[in-house]
Structure 1
Amino acid sequence: MITRAFDRSAMSWSYEMHLQPMLSASDIEGLPFGSVFGSVPAHTVSKRHAHQDGEMFIVLAGKAVVVLGDEEREFGPGQVVHLSPFGFHEIRNTSDEPFDIVSIYWEHIPSAVAALEQLPPRSQLAERSLVFCPPPTPNGGLHLGHLAGPYVRADMLVRALRSMGRDARYVTGTDDHQSYVAAAARLRGTDPAEVATAEGDAIVATLRAAGVGCDRLTRPSADPEHAGRIRELFSRVTASPAVTEEKRDTAYCPTCDLSLHQAFARGHCAHCSAPCDGEICEACGRPNEARDLTGLRCRICGTPAATRPEPGLWLDLDAYADQVRDYLRESATAPDLQALAERLLDEGLPPYRLDRSSTWGVALEDGQTLDAWADLALTFLDAARTESEQNGPAKITLFLGYDNSFYYAVLLPVLAFATGLAEFLPAAFVTNQFLHLGDEKFSTSRGHAVWADDALAAAGPDAVRLALLRQAPEGRVTRITPERAGRLTQDPLYRGVQDWLTGFAPLTQGSGGRVPGTGAWTDAHREFYRYLNLATRQLDGLLLPESFSARGYVSQLESFVARCAEFQATEEALRKVASLAEEARTSLALAYLSAKVFAALAWPVMPELAQRTWDWLGLPGQPVREADWSFLPSGTSVTSDAPGLTAAAAARAGGRS
């Protein structure tokens, strides 16, 4: 006889609850399930998670709410609940007593596969989405490193959502009030407003040239009502008991008579020793106070920093730590951001200064200006609120660089809680790290860069977008060599799709310029049609903000084109046999269908070529991404001129069409 007894002293902490092994196949040979005793402490929520297993809770004692997906129900002693495979679940115990259970779990792969089939990726996409990108700082132009981060990847998602019939809007702008704009103006001997306007206009033009469509642009220095709206929100922040006015020693340049913060401060991070500006380290993601940097100097004149006392408004971030932790726990966060946020929360959040001794930015009543990052966070909340008021509620996804994680995953939520605007926080974060040029970061100051405008003029938007999405720095630093940056049109997918589409010319001539209806089907035809639908679902899964991968998408799209080209080549012999005319019609109909599918799947990546392909097939509007692919109507007219490279693109690619 094998026995087990519920024993709190034998429990270990896992899934944010107490667990104790009960019985499993290691105890009883052939036992088809595993089991554990579990206990969720009072006023505790277990970890939200899912398994491929089926699971059953048998309640021993206490009362708590069990959440499965969108369902939630209170359970008590003697009750049983079944949790389906891949169903996200948690236990919320708001009572004063532990919630004790027995969990029995078992693996049944057919049930797990069936559960996945009932949850296709497309069904998990919101009907309305706001896709935000941090507004670029208008202190210079955009290089390929900038574009490779959030901007093209966010546009990829927006286009894909729209092609599925979802309402998606792209929100970004220019971060006009950044200290980097003021520093650039000092170094150039001009006014910050002039820098923000000129460089901001150039940035917007570059984004548009890259095919990035912005539905809402926040341009603070060009918006006469911006300061008033932000001051109103800031007054809510300062009403929080977590905000205090204190005089603290602050980094200072006596030569320039300048308070050293952010762009004006240059030194090395006290945590990781990497070169660092004030208030944030791009290398390790930790915040700092500029005065704590080692080897601190003034960026303007190079003088070693002194300190002086400055009055300031300080926000106790740690007062909101539990709310931030709960918020991030309920949000979809990329692994690198999640790891950084957990580390920062565990170490204790430092206080943050909300105002600066500066003349550039939103002026405050005390003669100071609003901190640029606080301004940026409040601008985000203001834009999200306005979008909701004008267009209705939407799921917010934020694409951002890992170096901005502290500001968007910590400071932004705290300010949202303080202003009462937490409903406008991102539901999902999609991060990127850095694209390096060779072995070093892109650097404007050192001239180590490939400018986006130059690359777009030389290779065109499709080739630039494709190269940057293929090399997207998702979860890691990626690299592009100067040689590769100069040959963007030589990408294997970019060239392969031209060869494949060019191959439609003889098909079109042979069919009299008409797409036939299907006839008799072979096994190969059936499996190719199955592949078109399955490949679409696989690519849909890479568009979920929770699993977004531009690199994976490009890789699978390249495989898709190769599969379509292979089908077209192997079917060529069949189309020459008179007795197989009925099968040939199906073969041709599938070939043209594959071009239609390609246009829809490629539109987020290479919008110009995808649109030309869609137009060539006689289809109206912009590419539409169907859940289950319908054939082109029999008799659809197509020309023998395949939708390959335009004359300009052919010239960029060395004259090959």
Structure 2
Amino acid sequence: MITRAFDRSAMSWSYEMHLQPMLSATDIEGLPFGSVFGSVPAHTTSKRHAHQDGEMFIVLAGKAVVLLGDEERELGPGQVCYLSPFGFHEIRNDHDEPFDIVSVYWEHIPSAVAVLEKAPPRDLLADRTLVFCPPVTPNGGLHLGHLAGPYVRADMLVRALRSMGREARHVTGTDDNQSYLATAALLRGSTPAAVAAAEGDGIVATLATARVDVDRVTRPLTDPGHAERMRALLDLVKAAPTVREEERETAYCPTCDLSLHQAFASGACAHCDAPSVGEICEACGRPNEARELLDLRCRICGTEAALRTERGLWLDMNAYADELREYLRVSAAAPDLRILVERLLDEGLPPYRLDRTTDWGVDLGGGRALDAWADLALAFLDAARTESEENGPARIALFLGYDNSFYYAVLLPVLAFAAGLGEHLPAVFVTNQFLHLGDEKFSTSRGHAVWADEALAASGPDAVRLALLRDAPEGRVTRITEERAGRLTEDPLYLAAHAWLDGFAALDGKGDGAVPGTGAWTDAHREFYRYLNLTTRQMDGVVLPEAFSARGYVELLESFVKRCAEFRATEEVARRVPSLAEEARTSLALEYLAAKVFAALAWPVTPGIAERVWEWLGLPGAPAREADWSFLPSGTRVAAPAPARAAAVPAASGRS
């Protein structure tokens, strides 16, 4: 006889609850299940998670709400519940006593696979999605490093969602009130407004040339109501008890008579020793006050910084630590962002100054302006609220560079909590690291860049987008050489797709341009048709916002083109055998179907090629992907042979 007893002193902390091993196959040979005692402390919620196993809870003591997906049930002693495989679940104990259970779990792979088959990826998508990208600072033109981060990847998601019949809108713009813009103007001997206007126009034009379609473009300097709306939102924040006006020591340049903050400050990060500006370190993503930098100097004149006392509005961010933890617990976030934020929360969030002593930005009076990053966060909330009011509620996915993690995953939600606007926060954070040119980060100020407008003019938007999505800096730093940047049309997928599409011109034996109906099917035909549908589901899966992978999508698309080319190569011989004429019709119908599938799957990556194929096949509107692919109607006349490689499209200049 083997016995086990519930023992709180023997429990360990896992899944944000207490667990104690009970019985498993290591205790009893052949036992087809595992089991544990569990206890969720009072006023605690366990970790939201899923397993491939089926699981059963048997309640021993206490009461709590068990959540499975969108379902929730309150359970008490003696009650039992079953949790299906891959169902995200958690236990919320709002009571004063612990919630004690026995969990019994078992693996049955056919059941797990059946759950996946019943819930294809596109069924998990929201009806409406807002896709946000951080506005571009208009202190220079766009380079390939900019495009490789959020912008092309966000556009890829928007197109993928639309191709699956979902409503998606893309929101970005220019960050006209940034300190980086003010410093660029000083260093050029110009004014921030003039720099913002010239560079901002170029940025918007370059995004359009790259086929990055934006539905709402936020540009503060061309929006006469921006400053008033930001001051109104700041008033909501100031009404919170966590905001105080205080005098504190601040970095200062006596030579330039400048308060040194953000881009005005230059030094080394006190945490990682990397070169850094004030308030954020791009290398480690950690916040700082400019006065904390090592070897702190004025960015404009190089003078060693002094200190002076300044009066400012300070936000006690640490007061929102618990609310922020709860928000991030239910949000989808990349591991690098989650690691950074959890470390900051464990260390204690520093206070943040909401205004700056400067003459650039939203004027708050008394020689102070709204902090540029607070301006950015409030502008985000303003745009999200406006989109909701004008077009209805939507799930928000935010694409951002890892270096902006603090501002968007900490400062933004804290300001939303303080202002009572938490319902407009992102549900999904999709981060990127940096694309390097050779061994160094792209740099506008040092001219270490391949400019986007020049690359687009030389290679065309499809080739540029494909190259940047193939080497997207997802979870890692990636690199591109100047040599490769000059040969983007030699990408293997770009070449293979054109070669396969060009081959359609030789398929029509009658010369009438008509697509045949299906005839007799072979096993190979059946499996190729199965492949078209299964690959579509695979590619749907990697464009779920929570599982987004541009690199993974490009690899699947490249494999798709290779498979289609192999199908043609093995079928061409059979099409010349007279006794297989009925099979040849099916073979040709499948090839044209593959072109239809390609156009829909390629549209998020190479919209130009995809649209030409879609039009060539006589299909209306934008390329759309079907859950189960239907053949082109028999007798459909294609307008012309498959399009040859597109010539490069001249790009609008994005820099002065």
Q: Which TM bucket (shorter chain)? A: over 0.9
Aligned partners of 1:506 and 1:640 also within 8 Å:
no
User: Following the alignment from structure 2 to structure 1, what is the Cα–Cα distance between the partners of residues 9 and 163?
Assistant: 56
Aligned partners of 1:171 and 1:214 also within 8 Å:
yes
Task: Please tell me the residue identity of whatever aligns with 1:130.
Answer: L
**Partner residue of 1:208?**
208
Aligned partners of 1:609 and 1:644 also within 8 Å:
no
User: Aligned-pair distance for 1:641?
Assistant: 2.4
User: Following the alignment from structure 2 to structure 1, what is the Cα–Cα distance between the partners of residues 554 and 165?
Assistant: 22
Aligned partners of 1:509 and 1:640 also within 8 Å:
no
**Partner residue of 1:235?**
235
Q: Which runs of 5+ in 2 are unaligned?
A: 652-656
Structure 2 residue 617 is matched with structure 1 residue 617: yes
Structure 2 residue 75 is matched with structure 1 residue 72: no
Question: C-alpha offsets along residues 511-533 of structure 1, whole Å, 9 cap, x if unaligned?
Answer: 53100000000000000000000
1:640–1:230 CA distance, 2 compared to 1 (3 A): closer
Question: C-alpha offsets along residues 13-41 of structure 1, whole Å, 9 cap, x if unaligned?
Answer: 00000000000000001000000000000
Structure 2 counterparts to residues 384-395 of structure 1, below 5 A:
384-395=384-395
**Partner residue of 2:654?**
none
Aligned partners of 1:55 and 1:104 also within 8 Å:
yes
User: Aligned-pair distance for 1:599?
Assistant: 0.1
Task: Please tell me the residue identity of whatever aligns with 1:247.
Answer: E
Task: Please tell me the residue identity of whatever aligns with 2:59.
Answer: V
User: Aligned-pair distance for 1:367?
Assistant: 3.2
User: Following the alignment from structure 1 to structure 2, what is the Cα–Cα distance between the partners of residues 510 and 332?
Assistant: 54
Structure 2 residue 322 is matched with structure 1 residue 322: yes
Helix, strand or coil for the counterpart of 1:285? Answer: coil
Question: C-alpha offsets along residues 173-209 of structure 1, whole Å, 9 cap, x if unaligned?
Answer: 1000000111111111111111111111100000000
User: Following the alignment from structure 1 to structure 2, what is the Cα–Cα distance between the partners of residues 89 and 165?
Assistant: 28
Question: C-alpha offsets along residues 128-185 of structure 1, whole Å, 9 cap, x if unaligned?
Answer: 0100000000000000000000000000000111111111000001000000111111
Structure 2 counterparts to residues 232-631 of structure 1, below 5 A:
232-510=232-510, 512-631=512-631
User: Aligned-pair distance for 1:640?
Assistant: 4.9
Question: C-alpha offsets along residues 599-637 of structure 1, whole Å, 9 cap, x if unaligned?
Answer: 000000000000000000011111011111000011010
Aligned partners of 2:456 and 2:648 also within 8 Å:
no
User: Following the alignment from structure 1 to structure 2, what is the Cα–Cα distance between the partners of residues 558 and 331?
Assistant: 32
Task: Please tell me the residue identity of whatever aligns with 1:451.
Answer: W
Q: Give percent identity, aligned residues only.
A: 79
1:640–1:202 CA distance, 2 compared to 1 (3 A): closer
Task: Please tell me the residue identity of whatever aligns with 2:485.
Answer: A
User: Aligned-pair distance for 1:445?
Assistant: 1.9
User: Following the alignment from structure 1 to structure 2, what is the Cα–Cα distance between the partners of residues 180 and 610?
Assistant: 38
User: Following the alignment from structure 2 to structure 1, what is the Cα–Cα distance between the partners of residues 333 and 5?
Assistant: 39
User: Following the alignment from structure 2 to structure 1, what is the Cα–Cα distance between the partners of residues 412 and 535?
Assistant: 38
Structure 2 counterparts to residues 83-102 of structure 1, below 5 A:
83-102=83-102
User: Aligned-pair distance for 1:471?
Assistant: 0.5
User: Following the alignment from structure 1 to structure 2, what is the Cα–Cα distance between the partners of residues 251 and 69?
Assistant: 50
User: Aligned-pair distance for 1:79?
Assistant: 0.3
User: Aligned-pair distance for 1:105?
Assistant: 0.3
**Partner residue of 1:637?**
637
Aligned partners of 1:508 and 1:639 also within 8 Å:
no
Question: C-alpha offsets along residues 343-369 of structure 1, whole Å, 9 cap, x if unaligned?
Answer: 111111000000000001001144310
1:217–1:648 CA distance, 2 compared to 1 (3 A): closer
User: Following the alignment from structure 1 to structure 2, what is the Cα–Cα distance between the partners of residues 196 and 176?
Assistant: 6
User: Aligned-pair distance for 1:643?
Assistant: 1.6
Helix, strand or coil for the counterpart of 1:25? Answer: coil
Aligned partners of 2:596 and 2:613 also within 8 Å:
yes
Question: C-alpha offsets along residues 475-501 of structure 1, whole Å, 9 cap, x if unaligned?
Answer: 000011111111000000000001101
Aligned partners of 2:618 and 2:639 also within 8 Å:
no
**Partner residue of 2:135?**
135
Cα RMSD (Å)? 1.1
Between 1 and 2, higher relative CO (CA 8 Å, sep ≥ 6) is seen in 2
User: Following the alignment from structure 1 to structure 2, what is the Cα–Cα distance between the partners of residues 552 and 481?
Assistant: 22
User: Following the alignment from structure 1 to structure 2, what is the Cα–Cα distance between the partners of residues 636 and 538?
Assistant: 29
Task: Please tell me the residue identity of whatever aligns with 2:218.
Answer: T
Report the TM-score, using the length of structure 1 for normalisation.
0.98
Runs in 1 of length 4+ with deviation above 2 angstroms?
Answer: 508-512, 646-649
User: Following the alignment from structure 1 to structure 2, what is the Cα–Cα distance between the partners of residues 412 and 476?
Assistant: 24
Helix, strand or coil for the counterpart of 1:503? Answer: helix
Greater mean alpha carbon deviation, residues 493-502 or residues 185-194: 185-194
1:38–1:647 CA distance, 2 compared to 1 (3 A): closer
Helix, strand or coil for the counterpart of 2:559? Answer: helix
Aligned partners of 1:508 and 1:638 also within 8 Å:
no
Aligned partners of 1:127 and 1:166 also within 8 Å:
yes
**Partner residue of 1:180?**
180
User: Aligned-pair distance for 1:593?
Assistant: 0.2
The size of the alignment, in residue pairs, is 651
Helix, strand or coil for the counterpart of 1:23? Answer: coil
User: Following the alignment from structure 1 to structure 2, what is the Cα–Cα distance between the partners of residues 73 and 173?
Assistant: 44
Helix, strand or coil for the counterpart of 2:525? Answer: helix
User: Following the alignment from structure 1 to structure 2, what is the Cα–Cα distance between the partners of residues 158 and 620?
Assistant: 19
Task: Please tell me the residue identity of whatever aligns with 2:403.
Answer: D
User: Following the alignment from structure 2 to structure 1, what is the Cα–Cα distance between the partners of residues 622 and 116?
Assistant: 30
Helix, strand or coil for the counterpart of 1:57? Answer: strand
Report the TM-score, using the length of structure 2 for normalisation.
0.98
Task: Please tell me the residue identity of whatever aligns with 2:595.
Answer: A
User: Following the alignment from structure 1 to structure 2, what is the Cα–Cα distance between the partners of residues 249 and 335?
Assistant: 35
User: Following the alignment from structure 2 to structure 1, what is the Cα–Cα distance between the partners of residues 638 and 118?
Assistant: 38
Helix, strand or coil for the counterpart of 2:42? Answer: coil
Aligned partners of 1:508 and 1:640 also within 8 Å:
no
Aligned partners of 1:398 and 1:426 also within 8 Å:
yes
User: Aligned-pair distance for 1:509?
Assistant: 4.7
User: Aligned-pair distance for 1:639?
Assistant: 4.4
Helix, strand or coil for the counterpart of 2:308? Answer: strand
**Partner residue of 1:34?**
34
Aligned partners of 2:437 and 2:482 also within 8 Å:
yes
Structure 2 counterparts to residues 103-122 of structure 1, below 5 A:
103-122=103-122
User: Following the alignment from structure 2 to structure 1, what is the Cα–Cα distance between the partners of residues 526 and 595?
Assistant: 17
User: Following the alignment from structure 2 to structure 1, what is the Cα–Cα distance between the partners of residues 640 and 364?
Assistant: 66
User: Aligned-pair distance for 1:307?
Assistant: 0.8
User: Following the alignment from structure 2 to structure 1, what is the Cα–Cα distance between the partners of residues 439 and 537?
Assistant: 36
User: Aligned-pair distance for 1:647?
Assistant: 4.4
User: Aligned-pair distance for 1:646?
Assistant: 2.6
User: Aligned-pair distance for 1:448?
Assistant: 1.1
Greater mean alpha carbon deviation, residues 437-446 or residues 601-610: 437-446
Structure 2 counterparts to residues 38-49 of structure 1, below 5 A:
38-49=38-49
Aligned partners of 1:265 and 1:278 also within 8 Å:
yes
Helix, strand or coil for the counterpart of 1:284? Answer: coil
User: Aligned-pair distance for 1:562?
Assistant: 0.2
Aligned partners of 1:145 and 1:434 also within 8 Å:
yes
**Partner residue of 1:655?**
none
Aligned partners of 1:504 and 1:640 also within 8 Å:
no
Task: Please tell me the residue identity of whatever aligns with 1:367.
Answer: G
Helix, strand or coil for the counterpart of 1:489? Answer: helix
